[in-house]
Amino acid sequence: GQNIDQPTEMTATEGAIVQINCTYQTSGFNGLFWYQQHAGEAPTFLSYNVLDGLEEKGRFSSFLSRSKGYSYLLLKELQMKDSASYLCAVMDSNYQLIWGAGTKLIIKP
């Protein structure tokens, strides 16, 4: 079967750095996505990785290791507005997205 695993909840302090991990087992691999979802709102796209390595985009970076079936999202200089759920999704061999349950990130002042 296909499976995406993420921690259910994480807590971090404003101004700090947090790393959200995602491991996956899917039928084929055509890229990994990270989305941000604020409570009661739709998910919005953060990043896409299809090759191994680190992709940096401002305060957010995403890393992929295809051989390990592993990715992480790194958030730097945390702000209160970063409190949200972060969803990991993998595109399988049929180009369908398989979604993780999301990691709820709580930022404390």
Partner 1 sequence: SQTIHQWPATLVQPVGSPLSLECTVEGTSNPNLYWYRQAAGRGLQLLFYSVGIGQISSEVPQNLSASRPQDRQFILSSKKLLLSDSGFYLCAWSALAGGYNEQFFGPGTRLTVL
Label residue 54 exposed, middle or buried (CB < 10 Å: 0-12, 13-18, 19+): exposed
- Does position 25 interact with partner 1 (CB under 8 A)? The reply is no
- Does position 74 interact with partner 1 (CB under 8 A)? The reply is no
- Residues near 8 by beta carbon (within 8 Å), at least 6 away in sequence: 101, 103, 104
Record the tokens describing residue 15, joined without a space. Answer: 């101004």
- Does position 7 interact with partner 1 (CB under 8 A)? The reply is no
Scanning the chain, the segments in alpha helix (DSSP H) are none
Which residue among 16, 54, 101, 106 contacts partner 1 (CB under 8 A)? Answer: 101
- Which residues within the stretch 34-73 sit at the binding site for partner 1 (CB under 8 A)? 40-45, 48, 50
- Which residues would be at the binding site for partner 1 (CB under 8 A)? 4, 30-31, 33, 40-45, 48, 50, 87, 89, 91, 95-97, 99-102, 104
